[in-house]
Amino acid sequence: MNSESDGIARGPLEEWFRSRVATLEPPLDYEKIHGGLSNLTFLVTDQAGSRWVLRRPPLGARLGSAHDMGREVKVVSALADTPVPVPPVVGYCDDESVTGAPFYVMEFVEGPVLRTPDQAALFSGADQRRRIGEGLVETMVAIHALDPDRTGLGDLGRRDGYVARQLKRWSGQWEKSKTRELETVELVHAKLSEAIPEQTETTIVHGDYRLDNVIYSPLGEVAAVVDWELCTLGDPLADLGLLMVYWAEPEDESIPLFRPATTEPGFPTRAALAAHYAAISGRDISQLDYFVALGYWKLAVILEGVLARFRGGQYGEDARDGGEEFAAAVEQLAEAASRAIFRLET
C-alpha cells in the first residue's frame, strides 16, 4: 500500500514513529487490516519485524463521536491496569497535518481474530469452542464490573437515559447517512422508543462487543479486547444484546457479508451464553429481547453509514465495490429488528 489517498502519509508518519520508538528501523510498511468497517486500522511493520497497529477515522466527512480517536485512546489507556485486557498504547496524535486525521498507535498483540469459519478451524475441539464463548462472556462481565470513576472513565457519558440517548443518536446518524428511504428502520425506531425498559444500573459499555473484536491467545483465552470507539456509560444489557445479534448459529438465515465463525459446530448457543452471563454477573436478563431488537436496529444504521462511506470512496478508491451486499444486509437486519420487536409484543 503506497498511496496517501488511503489515509497514510509515509514521511510524516515515519517521523512521528521515530519520536516515540527508540528502536525503530525504517522504512515502515503499512497493511490495511480488514474486518472493521468504521475506523481504518493498519498493521505497521519496520525492517526489524517490529509491529504496531495504527487506527484513524475513515477518509472524508465523519459522523462526530463515532470516529473520535481521542475518546477511544482515552478508554484503552484507562483500561490498561484493569482486569480487562487491552493493547498497550504507544501514542496519540491529534495533529491532522501528519496523516490527514487524528490517530493513535498500539502495540501489536499476537494472536488470531476469529471472524470466519476458516479462522475458527484454529480451535477445532468442541471444548475449546465452548471455552472461547464462555471466556468472551466472562470478559464482558469483567468490563461491566469496573467502577467507571475509579477507572477514570466516570465522565465518559451521562449515567441516565442510556437507551433514549442511543435511539436519538443512531436515528440522527441514520438521517445523516442514509442512501434511501427504509420504512422498516423508521417503524422499529418508533416501537423501540415506545417500549424503553427502566435502566436500573450504569456500567462501562463497550458498544460493539463481539467475537471478532477480541484477539485470542494460542490457547483460546482472551488476549485483548479492541475497537472501543463506541464505548460509553450505559445499560450493560446493551452489550449482551448486541453479542446475541452477532453470535450466529448454524441454522440461522444467512445475512449478506456475514458468515461468522460461530456457525461452525461446537460453539455455544446464544441461550447458553446469555445464561452464563446471568449466572456469573448476577444480573436479571429478562429484558434481553429488547436489547436484541435494539442491537439489530443499531447494526442496520451502522452498516448504512458504512455503505454511504463505501460509495463515497472514504475507504480508498479500491474499496467502492460491494455496495449491493451492504444494502441487502441493512434491509435484512432491519427486518430482524422488526421480528424481535414483534416477539416483545406477543
Residue 164 lies in a domain: yes
Number of helices (H) and strands (E) in the chain: give both, helices first: 11, 9
Q: Average pLDDT, stretch 119-141?
A: 96
Q: What is the pLDDT of residue 3?
A: 47
Answer yes or no: do 78 and 130 share one domain: no
Residue 112 lies in a domain: no
| Placement of cell 440461522 in the chain | 252
Distance CA(240)–CA(150), nearest Å, equals: 23
Residue type, 20: R
Number of structural domains (the chain) is 2
Q: Average pLDDT, stretch 201-209?
A: 96
Element (H, E) at 58: none
Work out the pLDDT band at 327, boundaries 50, 70, 90: confident
Distance CA(336)–CA(341), nearest Å, equals: 9
Over 80: is that where the pLDDT of 49 sits?
A: yes
Model confidence, pTM: 0.90
Q: Average pLDDT, stretch 4-20?
A: 89
Q: Average pLDDT, stretch 124-142?
A: 96
Answer yes or no: do 205 and 266 share one domain: yes
Higher pLDDT, 35 or 47: 47
Q: 188: domain range?
A: 117-345
Answer yes or no: do 83 and 204 share one domain: no
* Domain end point (choices 67, 87, 107): 107
- Mean pLDDT, rounded, of the chain: 90
| 206-237 pLDDT per residue, tens | 999 999 999 999 889 999 999 998 999 999 99
Q: Average pLDDT, stretch 17-38?
A: 87
β-bridge partners, 43: 31, 53
